[in-house]
Copies of this chain bind each other. A is one copy, B any other.
Amino acid sequence: MNENHQIGGKRLSQRETRAQNRARILASAEKVFAEYGYTGGSISRIAAEAGIPKSNVIYYFANKEALYHEVVGDIFNIWRAAADQISDRSDPIAALSDYIDTKLDLARARPYGSKVWANEIIQGAPIAQDYLETELRSWTDDRIAVIDGWIEAGKLRPVSARHLLYAIWSTTQHYADFGHQIATLNDGKPFTDAQWEETKVAVKELLLGNLEMGGE
């Protein structure tokens, strides 16, 4: 009996074991790929992080690329789900505020995922290219249309919807991807709860403060 295959002393079925092991490997892989990049994130390092032998990683994922592909897909799907909050019918500023809040929450909750994605794009998206050309492309076009609709309806000051989206993505993800730099400039300490709240307020004010119609 493997000690990993129980929770609170209760033995797990093979189904549960499989799910648990895959999840553990995926979490370790996300961290290791974030910290060392794709090439530097070796299977043995991922295995050590997960506390299992290297061979066991290969057993659950056909090869390194397949494992990496799942890690990248995970964070993309999480972001996509969060992005669907920008609904056409809501108040523009409220919708964009929610989106920024959610993105910053994710930057805090899943920094490794954000870093893996950043790494992937920096290196030319050898794996994620399909996501970019299909899902991200259509999603972006949709949201730009929504924002342009708001502008035409007079609910939002005229701005470049595309560059607004890019600014939201870059600023929010910056707090994950460059978290180490930010922590170093914060006396080496990661942000506290209060500092994350200040960040939300500041980012929203900077990016959205100028978009409200009839502003002061």
Contacts and interface: CB of A to CB of B under 8 A. Distances in A.
Interface in A1-51: 34-40
Nearest to A176: B122
Identical copies in the complex: 2
Interface stretch (A57-65, A66-74, A81-89, A157-165): A157-165
A205 B159 contact: yes
A133 interface: yes
A207 B167 contact: yes
A198 interface: yes
A40 to B, nearest CB: 3
A34 B140 contact: no
A77 interface: no
Contact of A181 (B38, B136, B203): B136
A180 B39 contact: no
A206 interface: yes
B140 A185 contact: yes
A160 B124 CA distance: 34
A1 B186 CA distance: 55
A177 B119 CA distance: 9
A169 interface: yes
Contacts of A171: 166-167, 170-171
Interface of A: 34-40, 115, 118-119, 121-125, 129, 132-133, 136-137, 140, 159-160, 162-164, 166-167, 169-171, 173-175, 177-178, 180-182, 184-185, 198-199, 202-203, 205-207, 209-210, 215-216
Given A37-B119, A169-B174, 10 more contacts: A36-B39, A37-B39, A40-B123, A118-B118, A118-B178, A121-B178, A133-B184, A163-B202, A166-B182, A210-B210
